[in-house]
Chains A and B, each alone.
Chain A
Amino acid sequence: MTILGLLGVAAFGLVSALVGVRLLALARRTREAPELAMGLAFVLSGAIAFPLLTAAGFLAAADEPTLARGAAAIGTTSLFAGYVGLAIGGWRIYRPSERWPLLPIAAGTALLVVASAVSFVSTDSRPGGLRDVFFWTGASVGSLTFGWNAFESFSLYRQLRRRLALGLAEPEVANRVLLWGIGSCAACAMTLHGLASRLLVGQALGDGYRLISSGLGLTAAIAIALAFFPPAGYRRRFAAAPARDGEL
């Protein structure tokens, strides 16, 4: 049951790492900000943070507190840096000509910097201690960031769906926007579920809680993989869709 509970979260980490590397390769070719920011977000959280935070748990269980703290601090900082990349990516994708997103992004970044610093400086690893409180404060910022991306994606999808009916949008792109909305929503829910579980139940989470978290992680992983790393078979579904003539 424990393995099943970890499966979704591990899948989310793995998919994030793969998608991140792919987006960074794309950014190298295009030199565009959205793929760079999103690529860094996925790599930092998937390829670096998840393995380190998982390792920190094992190290703590193996009675290696110093190593566990170090791994947790680097993993936490990497995870939080990924959130900043996600926020910048969202801004550059959905509202590049607007300046207001800079204010919440700057405020969130400041909070994440403080939370990261605490993870390095504090030795208070007790449940509900300083490190725990700041970790979940940072995770809440991440959850809000995913939530914002989900909201913007669903709004954009609603608009594109109307255009789709008139042949003014690409079906594959509209589907990608929807998938990213679903993936962001699931990632947001996964973090909120983790936070709520900690607050309501404490450290000793039952299998049911782990399964919910795993299900959300798996949902996010599948949606993100299909959105940014779609297999050829999935893409063919859209190639067969009839194109509408936009001219009178």
Chain B
Amino acid sequence: MADASVFDFTADRIEQSTALDKLAARGTVRLALKAAGLDPGAVDSRQMLVVLKSVLPGELHRRGVGDAAEVCQRIGEALAKAGLSADASDGADRAAAIFARLGSR
């Protein structure tokens, strides 16, 4: 599923680029997504790019990754090139889209 692969892609790259093991890398991405109000099973590239820019550097820094911002920058560039796209929006996105419609003129 394309949605899940954005999460897997990011966690795998963090594991490869840092001293974090698989479990820690995935846990860190999960925590960052939770802080951003996103679902790991439904996050798309656009959302992950924002998380990589604004949330993950701090999370990685807290886990002793020195060049966290640089790591996230590199992963973000790779993610953008990978062209992974979500084939469905998550529940919150769908509900928000309905609310946008319900109040539209």
What is the size category of the interface that chain A forms with chain B?
35 or more
Residue contact A169 to B101, C-beta cutoff 8 Å:
no
Chain A residues whose CB sits within 8 angstroms of the CB of B77 once the complex forms: 248
Given contacts A170-B100, A248-B73, contact A160 B92 (CB under 8 A): yes
Does any Cβ of B come within 8 Å of A95's Cβ? yes
Q: Is the interface of B mostly helix, strand, loop or mixed?
A: helix
Residue contact A162 to B37, C-beta cutoff 8 Å:
yes
Which residue of A95, A161, A174, A230 contacts B91 across the interface (Cβ within 8 Å)? A95
Residue contact A94 to B95, C-beta cutoff 8 Å:
yes
Does any Cβ of A come within 8 Å of B54's Cβ? yes
Residue contact B53 to A156, C-beta cutoff 8 Å:
no
Given contacts A160-B96, A246-B46, contact A227 B103 (CB under 8 A): yes
Chain B residues whose CB sits within 8 angstroms of the CB of A227 once the complex forms: 102-103
Chain B residues whose CB sits within 8 angstroms of the CB of A30 once the complex forms: 101
Which residue of B46, B50, B52, B101 contacts A32 across the interface (Cβ within 8 Å)? B101
Residue contact A156 to B95, C-beta cutoff 8 Å:
yes
Closest to B104 in A: A26
Does any Cβ of B come within 8 Å of A172's Cβ? yes
Q: Mark A153-171, 1 if CB is under 8 A from B, else 0.
A: 0001011111100111110
Given contacts A94-B91, A161-B37, A162-B37, contact A180 B50 (CB under 8 A): no
Q: Mark B25-53, 1 if CB is under 8 A from A, else 0.
A: 00000000001111000000011011111
What is the size category of the interface that chain B forms with chain A?
20 to 34
Q: How far is the CA of A247 from the CA of B96 in the complex (A)?
A: 21
Report which A residues bind B (CB closer than 8 A).
23, 26, 30, 32, 34-35, 38, 92-97, 156, 158-163, 166-170, 172-174, 176-177, 180, 227-230, 244, 246-248
- 19 new A-B contacts, CB < 8 A, other than A163-B92, A248-B73, A248-B77, are A23-B102, A26-B104, A32-B98, A32-B101, A35-B101, A93-B99, A96-B94, A156-B92, A156-B96, A162-B37, A166-B55, A169-B37, A169-B96, A170-B100, A176-B99, A177-B96, A228-B102, A248-B53, A248-B80
Sample of 11 A–B contacts (CB below 8 Å): A34-B98, A93-B98, A168-B38, A169-B37, A172-B100, A172-B103, A173-B100, A173-B103, A174-B96, A229-B103, A248-B77
